[in-house]
Amino acid sequence: MQDIIEGFLKFRRDVLPQRTDLFKELATSQHPSTLFISCSDSRLVPELVTQREPGDMFVIRNAGNIVPPYGPEPGGVSATVEYAVAALGVTDVVICGHSNCGAMTAIATCKCMDHMPAVSKWLHYADSAKIVNDAHDHKDEQACVDSLVHENVIAQLENLKTHPSVRLALAQGHLALHGWVYDIETGSIEALDSATGQFVSLSEHPHACAVPARVSLAA
C-alpha cells in the first residue's frame, strides 16, 4: 500500500503541475469518445495499452469483461453502458478480453468455485460462450482457454446489443462495436472483423470492426 501512496505523492508533485490545463478542463466536464469494457485483471490497463489520456475513455472493468444482457433489474454494468451511450454519446464501444484470463480458465476447466458463489453466479453470463467453445475440438487445455477468451468476447458483444440504448444508437448510425483480445506477453491485439467473422491482427488491420457504424435507417 505504501507504494501506491508514494505513487500518488509523485503524481501530485511531478505530473499534476505539468498537466494543469488538462485537469482544469476535466474538473467540470468529460467528453470520452469510447466506452472500453475490459477484465479487472491487473495485467491489463486499458489506458496504458491504448495510450489514452484522462477523459478519453469511459471504462468498465469486471471479472471476465462481461456485459449481462439487458433485463428488468439492470445492474451496475447496464447502468454504466446506458450512461456512456445515451448521456455521454460515445461513438465506439470496445469489449476487450485477454490472454491467460483467470475467469475464462475457471470456466474452460470446470474449476470448482463453491467457495466463491458470487463469482460462480457472475460467470454464468458467459454460458453461451462455453457452450459454443465446448462444441469445438481443442488440441490441449491452453488452446481451449484461448478459444474461450475469443468466444466470450463474441458472446458479450451479443449481450451488449440487447441494451436499448445500444440498439438505438446502432440503428441511428451513431455507434460502432469492437471486440478485442489482448495478448499480455506480446502486447498484440486481435480484433473481430465483421467482414470475415474472424479475429485478425489489429496492427495489420487497424480498421477491423465487429459492428461498424452504419447509415441511420431514418436517414
> Which three cell numbers, joined as nine digits, stand for 201?
491482427
Position 219 scores a pLDDT of: 43
Position 95 scores a pLDDT of: 98
**Angle formed by the axes of helices 141-160 and 127-134, to 10°?**
140
Position 162 scores a pLDDT of: 97
Separation between Cα atoms, residue 105 and residue 89, nearest integer Å: 34
- For residue 160, give every residue at least 6 positions away whose Cβ sits within 8 Å of its Cβ, in sequence order, or none: 37, 67, 81, 93, 95, 166, 177
Q: Where are the domains of the chain?
A: 88-214
Separation between Cα atoms, residue 115 and residue 215, nearest integer Å: 49
Position 216 scores a pLDDT of: 53
Instruction: Please count the residues of the chain.
Output: 219
Position 73 scores a pLDDT of: 81
Q: Which residues of the chain have pLDDT under 50?
A: 217-219
Position 214 scores a pLDDT of: 83
Give me the CATH code for the 88-214 domain, please.
3.40.1050.10
Model confidence over 16-60: pLDDT tens digits? Answer: 999 999 999 999 999 999 999 999 999 999 999 999 999 999 999
